[in-house]
Structure 1
Amino acid sequence: MTTRTTQTTVSFSSAFLLPGFDAPQPAGDYLVDHDEEAIEGVSRTAWLRVGAFIHLPAIGVRSTMRRMVPITPGDLDAALKKDQT
């Protein structure tokens, strides 16, 4: 099966907390990796998202420890929507 990873940047204007996080994360820009698998069709290929990971800490934050935390796209979307209100 063919897979791909795409990377996006998300921005939070205030602190946020996603399920599985030890503590709230500060406002900032964060890299998010989206893992997808190809679904081969007769006339085209579609991509199914099978996982997502957020890079901690935020972009530009100096830290000796960086990590990728698994997240669900729905939780990320909800947190971004909450951040906009």
Structure 2
Amino acid sequence: MGRLSATSVKATKEPGCYGDGDGLYLVVTPSGSKSWVCRVQKNGKRRDIGLGSVKKVPLPVEPKRLCLRLNWCRPGERPQTQPD
């Protein structure tokens, strides 16, 4: 984990999906907005869970911590409703 740095996130302008490892992705839209997505797979079904805008959820810690937490959920649990 850790292929994206705060500097590289800020410099990324090309639309696309950029993986950081362990299911964390930076998504850049054609309009230039940037957001974090955590990709999880449970029971053979893939799901992308939005973590928020890059402005509101900055690197280096917060999106990685959220994504790791979502990946640790037990099968059958709804990741976005897990308590702190």
Select the structure that is richer in helix. Answer: 2
Structure ranking higher in strand proportion: 1
Q: What range is the shorter-chain TM-score in?
A: 0.3 to 0.5
- Report which structure shows greater RCO (CA 8 Å, sep ≥6): 1
Larger radius of gyration: 1
TM-score (normalised: structure 1)? 0.36
TM-score by length of structure 2 reads: 0.37
